[in-house]
C-alpha cells in the first residue's frame, strides 16, 4: 500500500472510525477513477465472445466443458447447448463442480447424464475432486465456464485449478470463458491465506476477497504454481472491472443454492468465513449471508456492540429467525441483520472481524472462534481475535500482505 494510503488508514483508526469501510476507502485511493458505474448493455461473457469468433480456438477438437446453471449466454442459452451445436467442435463430456450442473445441490454429488443432450456428467465434487486420466482420455480440450463470486473459499476456482493440473499432465488444453466478478473486480480485502492452511477451500495464497475474474485467476495459478497448462482465456466484452454485477446488464443466476441475491453475495466474504463456528449465517432462510444468529446469541446486545462503530457503510439491526435447513434447523435464533448502504466503501471482511470480536467479547465461553481458522485463513488474525484485540488493529495488521498480493495480482489483470 502506498505510504499516503497507509497513513490515512492508520489515521482513521486512531480517530475511532469503523474498520468496516476504511480499508476499502484506502484501497480506492490507489485506483484510477471508475470508467462507468452505469449498466452497460454491451457486456457479454466469454461464451458470447467465443461464439462471435466462430469458435475458432476449438475448431476440430473433441472437448469437455466444466460448467453449471449460471453458464449461460447473454440471451440465456446454456453454454452446454451452444457448444453441442458449434460447427467443427465435438462436445463429448460435461464436468460439474460443487452443487452440480444445476447449481442447486449440497454435499457430494455423483456422476449422471444431461437430460437434454444425453451427454455424461462427470462430477468433480464426489468421490474425487480431480479428474482422473480416464476422465480426460480422448479429449483435446476442456472448456471452463463457471460463475465465480470473487471469494477465496468459494470452491469453483480450486476445481478449475485441479482440472488445470491434471489437464497439463494429460496434454489437454484448457479454455476459460471468462465472466464478471460480481462483487466488484477492483476490491481486494482480508488476510492473505497462510501456507499451512491451503486446502480445497484455499488453493492459492490470496486474500479472502481477491478482486479477480476466474480467467485472471487461471493465469495467476498457471504461472505462480508452475502448472504448465496449455491455457487460453476468452475475455469478457465491454467489461469494466470496477463494475458490480447489476451494472453489467447480465441477468443474475444463482451460482450456488445459497447465493440467491447480489446483496448476500456482497456480504459473503465477511459473513461466509464465520459459518464454520457455532452460528447460523442464514442458510435455510430467504436471505442467506444477510443475517447471523444462534440460539445462544443475544441479538440486541450484539447489535448494540456493533453499533458503537460509527460511520460504517452497513446498517446492523437486531433480528430473530428460524432456519428451515442447515445449522440450527428448526431452532429459534437471535442475532443481527446486515444491510449494505454504501457498497463502494464497504469492506465485508472487516465486518466479519467486527462480528467475531464482538461475539468473543459478549460470549467468550460459547463462541467457537477457533473454528474460523480454515476460512479466515490467518492464524495471526485468529490469535488477535482470541486475545481480544480491536478489530481495527486486526485489519491494519494484514495491510502489508495485501500490498504484496496486489503486486502479484497486477501481472494477471485483463480488464
Task: Give the DSSP letter of residue 72.
Answer: B
Question: Is 34 a residue whose pLDDT tops 60?
Answer: no
Specify the range with the lowest mean pLDDT, choosing from 10-19, 235-244, 295-304: 10-19
Q: Roughly what angle, to the nearest 10 degrees, separates helices 156-170 and 214-224? A: 50
Give mean pLDDT, residues 291-313: 91
Q: Looking at residue 41, what is its pLDDT? A: 54
304 phi and psi angles, rounded to 5 deg = -65, -45
Structural domain 46-254, CATH architecture = 3-Layer(aba) Sandwich (3.40)
Topology of domain 258-377, CATH: 3.90.1150
Map out the domains of the chain as residue ranges.
46-254, 258-377
pTM value is 0.90
Which pLDDT score, from 0 to 100, does residue 54 have? Answer: 97
> In the predicted model, what is the mean pLDDT of the chain?
91
**3-class secondary structure, 298:** coil
pLDDT at residue 5 is higher than 90: no
Q: How many CB atoms lie within 10 A of CB 360?
A: 16
How buried is 371 (Cβ within 10 angstroms: 0-12 exposed, 13-18 middle, 19+ buried)?
middle
Segment among 207-221, 225-239, 298-312 with least mean pLDDT: 298-312
| HEC assignment per residue over 207-270 | EEECCCCHHHHHHHHHHHCCCCCCEEEECCECCCCCCCHHHCCCCCCCCCCCCCCHHHHHHHHH
Amino acid at each position: 500500500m502506498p505510504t499516503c494510503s497507509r497513513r490515512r488508514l492508520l489515521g482513521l483508526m486512531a480517530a475511532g472510525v469503523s474498520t468496516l469501510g476504511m480499508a476499502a476507502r484506502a484501497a480506492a485511493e490507489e485506483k484510477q477513477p471508475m470508467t462507468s458505474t452505469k449498466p452497460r448493455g454491451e457486456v457479454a461473457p466469454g461464451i458470447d465472445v467465443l461464439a462471435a469468433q466462430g469458435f475458432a480456438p476449438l475448431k476440430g477438437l473433441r472437448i469437455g466443458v466444466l460448467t453449471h446453471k449460471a453458464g449461460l449466454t447473454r440471451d440465456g442459452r446454456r453454454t452446454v447447448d451452444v457448444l453441442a451445436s458449434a460447427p467443427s467442435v465435438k462436445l463429448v463430456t460435461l464436468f460439474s463442480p460443487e452443487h452440480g450442473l444445476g447449481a442447486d445441490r449440497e454435499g457430494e454429488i455423483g456422476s449422471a447424464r444431461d437430460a437434454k443432450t444425453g451427454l455424461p456428467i462427470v462430477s468433480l465434487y464426489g468421490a474425487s475432486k480431480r479428474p482422473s486420466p480416464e476422465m480426460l482420455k480422448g479429449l483435446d480440450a476442456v472448456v471452463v465456464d463457471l460463475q465465480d463470486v470473487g471469494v477465496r473459499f468459494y470452491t469453483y476456482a480450486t476445481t478449475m485449478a485441479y482440472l488445470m493440473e491434471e489437464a497439463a499432465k494429460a496434454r489437454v488444453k484448457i479454455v476459460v470463458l471468462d465472466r464478471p466478478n460480481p462483487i466488484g473486480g477492483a476490491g481486494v480485502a482480508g488476510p492473505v491465506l497462510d501456507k499451512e492452511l491451503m486446502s480445497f477451500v484455499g488453493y492459492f495464497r490470496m486474500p479472502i476477497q481477491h478482486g479477480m475474474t476466474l480467467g485472471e485467476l487461471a493465469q495467476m495459478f498457471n504461472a505462480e504454481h508452475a502448472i504448465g497448462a496449455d491455457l487460453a482465456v476468452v475475455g469478457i466484452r465491454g467489461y469494466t472491472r470496477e463494475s458490480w454485477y447489476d451494472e453489467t446488464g447480465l441477468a443474475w443466476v444463482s451460482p450456488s443454492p445459497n447465493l440467491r441475491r447480489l446483496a448476500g453475495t456482497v456480504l459473503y466474504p465477511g459473513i461466509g468465513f464465520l459459518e464454520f463456528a457455532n452460528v447460523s449465517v442464514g442458510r435455510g432462510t430467504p436471505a442467506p449471508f444477510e443475517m447471523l444468529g444462534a440460539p445462544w446469541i443475544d441479538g440486541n446486545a450484539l447489535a448494540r456492540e456493533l453499533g458503537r462503530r460509527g460511520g460504517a457503510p452497513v446498517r446492523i439491526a437486531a433480528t430473530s429467525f428460524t432456519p428451515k435447513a442447515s445449522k440450527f434447523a428448526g431452532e429459534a435464533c437471535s442475532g443481527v441483520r446486515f444491510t449494505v448502504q454504501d457498497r463502494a466503501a464497504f469492506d465485508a471482511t472487516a465486518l466479519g472481524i467486527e462480528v467475531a470480536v464482538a461475539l468473543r467479547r459478549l460470549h467468550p465461553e460459547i463462541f467457537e472462534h477457533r473454528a474460523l481458522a480454515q476460512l479466515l485463513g490467518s492464524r495471526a488474525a485468529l490469535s488477535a481475535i482470541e486475545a481480544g484485540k480491536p478489530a481495527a488493529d486486526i485489519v491494519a495488521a494484514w495491510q502489508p500482505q495485501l500490498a504484496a498480493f496486489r503486486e502479484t495480482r497486477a501481472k494477471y489483470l485483463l480488464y
